[in-house]
Amino acid sequence: MRLFSEATIEQARQKIGSTSWAAEGWQAVQHRVAEWHRRPGQIPEEAGGWIHNYICPEHWLPLRYNGNLSDYHACPAGHVCAGKKYDAAWRVWRHRQIADLAREAALAYVVLGVESGRETAVSILAQYAGFYSRLDGQSDAETWMLTGHAFNQALTEALWAIPLIHTYDLVADTLDSTLQAQLTQDLWQPLANVMTRAQDKLIAQNRIESNYMAWLNVTIGCLGFALNDPALIERAVQPPAGFTAHLDKAIFADGLEYEGSPYYHNFVLLAYLILAEAAKVNNVNLYTVTGSQGQTLTGMGCAFAQLAWPDGSIPDLSDGSYWQDSIYDSEICQAFEILNAAQPRNKFAWILRAAYRRQNATQDNWAALLYGPGETTTTGSVATGHTILKKSGIAVLRTDKMLAALVPFGPYRGSHHQYDRLSLTVWPFSRDAGSPLYGLPARKAWYPHSYAHNTLVVDGQSHANCGGELLDWDGHCLTTSAPEAYPGVTFKRTTEMKENTILDKVAVQSNETHTFDWVFHLDGDIKSPLDSQPLSGPLANGGAGSYIKLHSQSHVNESVSFDINYRSNFYRLTLTGEQPFTLLLGKSPGTSRYPQQRRHVLIGRTVGTQQRYQTTIVQL
């Protein structure tokens, strides 16, 4: 084996007898492998499409994957979707499921001595080698895609390939020379060509920092180590686009991936931890590699943990896999099982425990069974105090109560950017809107826009593609501005956390008359003593505002308060205006995790040249 050490395999065996979770995890693996061996599933001999199409356009919910039904795609709300794009998206899930099963089968053979596991693993590899050349994933790919061969996207192909390369490495010593040659000629060499061609395209486009690069590199690198190909190894690790160059280019000095998306940060981290473990077996230590600004793999893990809310969940910032039953938590578990074994930290164990709890899952994934040091028994929150990642432009303010706040003020982040500069996310009852699967029209029409976030909207328009600025931070009070958000408009926000209270101030000023909308979304139940007038219809006739449905309005001379009940935790929100304003009340689409659960939205509207809003949120 060139990707897994004998010591790692032996430790996995020993944990079966010493830890209950490992024994139970391997039993689950054996069961899945035995079920496949007893009734082998059919491997689709067609390319996979775009996984982001696997969403119901009516209910905005991910479709329920069933590996036995290639043309029946049911929404949890009861709607059934049909058509080629759904079938092609289903094939992505199916191919990835089979690749994961192949790795589990190979592990069952190597760790447990299950011969049927070896037979299953070899059969899957041989079948893919038999028809890989006939796949044509690029034929129906969209023009913007970095195309693959077995899938529309090279990125998807890399995600599918890694467990298959692991599978090969685990059983390679048992293969005869004929099958070895077939796999090399018909699968691994063509796959390497797809990956290196995609890598070269990103280099030519000056997109070395792309999160795609991490998964291209890990695939190229694992192929290089498994096949003992020095040229592929050098491509994966060295400049111009290998691990060392990508770490330096894509990761900020504070440890966060440049897009400011926790999802894509962990996505990149997982790829490089897989590469680091393979490299370690071959006497190359990527854990000690340090970028020009101090970036390291351990630092990436720490930056991710620093973003956590007090319950261990992670804010849904920018784009990402922020939908029901997504693979996000599973990827967190894989990444932090590897990282916590290699570089143990209490915060890593805590992140792990929270991710398993959210999934209601056991430690039966491949990374836990191979690398997991023990049961994730860390208790209590390690997300205490405040976090400010100045380069990334993210501040998280926490108390020891059920109350925390986040303000993003960082730079424009490219294609996964959302129009949420200087927004105020309040945990636990006013979280970020998130991002659904990208094939949903509302993913572009609603979720990224300023009206979907707790920020200031001017004249009904989202702010410009811009970043914000940090004006002051004294350890507990944050002052930020967004001078380029709206031309001719000065926009500042000051946010302070004290014990059980958030004090937030928004100041806006212009030489011309504008409509200034202070926006705040929340979940739970709300009550207000303010008399209001009925109102019916959308906030706007087009654009993101059309997704907000108003039901009442009030005139506010000075301030208005709302009592909030969120899961039996009680809060009071008081909004005060320096000048009188109109309060609009309505409902907005639910977060991308629960899109059918419409949210309350409060809009403080001022028409004029200036306004100062102060919001006080107190946990009662």
What is the per-residue pLDDT across 313-329, written as a single tens digit (0 to 9) for each?
Answer: 999 999 999 999 999 99
pLDDT-derived band at 378, boundaries 50, 70, 90: low
The residues that bridge with 603 in the sheet, in sequence order, are 519, 584
pLDDT tens digits, 181-190: 999 999 999 9
Question: What residue spans define the domains of the chain?
Answer: 7-198, 387-619
For residue 312, what are its two tokens? 């261990």
- Mean pLDDT over 514-533 rounds to 93
**DSSP string spanning 407-439?**
EE-----GGG--S-TT--EEETTB-------TT
**Element containing residue 146 per DSSP (H, E):** none
Q: The tokens 């004006």 sit on which residue?
A: 471
pLDDT tens digits, 550-571: 999 999 999 999 999 999 999 9
Do residues 409 and 468 lie in contact, with contact meaning Cβ atoms separated by under 8 Å? Answer: yes
Phi, psi (rounded to 5 degrees) for 302 = -65, -40
For domain 387-619, give the CATH number: 2.70.98.70
- Mean pLDDT over 502-530 rounds to 96
- Mean pLDDT over 531-555 rounds to 96
Do residues 91 and 48 lie in contact, with contact meaning Cβ atoms separated by under 8 Å? Answer: yes
| Coil, helix or strand at residue 21 | helix
pLDDT of residue 215: 99
| Coil, helix or strand at residue 349 | helix
pLDDT tens digits, 348-370: 999 999 999 999 999 999 999 99
Write the CA distances from 41 to 35, 102, 106, 554, integer angstroms.
10, 12, 17, 61
pLDDT of residue 377: 58
The mean predicted confidence, pLDDT, of the chain is: 96
pLDDT-derived band at 376, boundaries 50, 70, 90: low
Q: For residue 381, is pLDDT > 90?
A: no
| Coil, helix or strand at residue 504 | strand
pLDDT tens digits, 94-140: 999 999 999 999 999 999 999 999 999 999 999 999 999 999 999 99
How many Å apart are CA 153 and CA 24, to the nearest integer?
A: 36
**Nearest to residue 48, comparing CAs of 137, 126, 121?**
137
* Class of the CATH-defined domain 7-198: mainly alpha
pLDDT tens digits, 414-462: 889 999 999 999 999 999 999 999 999 999 999 999 999 999 999 999 9
How many Å apart are CA 262 and CA 250, to the nearest integer?
A: 14
Q: For residue 410, is pLDDT > 70?
A: yes
Task: Specify burial of residue 513 (Cβ count, 10 A radius: 0-12, 13-18, 19+).
Answer: exposed
pLDDT of residue 380: 61
pLDDT-derived band at 374, boundaries 50, 70, 90: low
Write the CA distances from 8 to 23, 341, 359, integer angstroms.
16, 11, 26
Do residues 589 and 599 lie in contact, with contact meaning Cβ atoms separated by under 8 Å? Answer: yes
**What share of the chain in percent tops pLDDT 90?**
95
pLDDT tens digits, 174-223: 999 999 999 999 999 999 999 999 999 999 999 999 999 999 999 999 99
Buried b (16+ CB within 10 A) or exposed e, 154-183: bbbbbbbbbbbbbbbbbbbeebeeeeeebb
**Element containing residue 493 per DSSP (H, E):** strand 489-498
| CB within 8 Å of 492: residues ≥ 6 apart | 471, 479, 480, 481, 506, 507, 508
- Mean pLDDT over 589-611 rounds to 98
How many Å apart are CA 231 and CA 210, to the nearest integer?
A: 22
The pTM of the full predicted model, rounded to 2 decimals, is 0.97
For residue 272, what are its two tokens? 């490089």
Q: Report H helices in 205-287.
A: 211-227, 230-237, 243-250, 262-281
**Nearest to residue 324, comparing CAs of 76, 584, 618, 13?**
76
